[in-house]
Amino acid sequence: MNSSFKRGTRFFAMISLLVAFLATGASANTMNGTEISAPVMGGYDPVSYFNQGKPMRGNGYHTATYNGGTYLFANKENKEMFTSNPGKYAPQFGGYCAYGVAVGKKFYSDPIIWKVVDGKLYLNLDKKIQKKWNADMKSHIVKAHSNWKDITHKLPSEL
């Protein structure tokens, strides 16, 4: 194997890992013990889906943690709304794709592909998957909540 192929493969692997961290708000320790953490939902403000009717980027000036993840907010008011009732605003299934959870998997989600249903925020992998999810949304939501109990503490690679 030539060295440029190996470098390209390593680069792709590192980018893939970074995308996974950004999608879920995961964290990891580096070799020197410092922690690397990416915001949940790729840094989008979860409250904005409810009060603005669209996803808005959060920023580092307004942050909060919930269930081990760091959330970013567009403004102080959104942060305060979230911290007073995080369960109301946090995405379902830890931000994983709602359709994926309905079929017993953990797919990373795109925070731009979303829907609020009965006051809960659901994210999907992409528009194609969201179309499948929308076709029988109520049934998928029931299945996803049932499956989540069994897969919540499993890594995506274990499913």
The parent domain of residue 108 ranges over 91-159
Give the tens place of pLDDT for each residue, 114-155: 999 999 999 999 999 999 999 999 999 999 999 999 999 999
Residue 20 lies in a domain: no
> 86-123 burial string, b = 16+ CB within 10 Å, else e?
beebbbbbbbbbbbbbbbebbbbbbbebbeeeeebbbb
Give the tens place of pLDDT for each residue, 95-116: 999 999 999 999 999 999 999 9
Identify the pLDDT of residue 142: 97
Give the tens place of pLDDT for each residue, 32-75: 444 456 789 999 999 999 999 999 999 989 999 999 899 999 99
What's the one-letter identity of residue 135?
A
Residue 66 lies in a domain: no
Residue 120 lies in a domain: yes
Sign, CA dihedral 37-12-148-145, equals: positive
Residue 143 lies in a domain: yes
Residue 148 lies in a domain: yes
Residue 62 lies in a domain: no
Identify the pLDDT of residue 95: 94
Give me 140's structure tokens.
């998928």
Alpha carbon distance 109, 22 (integer Å): 10
Residue 128 lies in a domain: yes
Question: How many domains are there within the chain?
Answer: 1
In this prediction the pTM is 0.77
Count other C-beta atoms under 10 Å from residue 79's C-beta: 20
Residue 32 lies in a domain: no
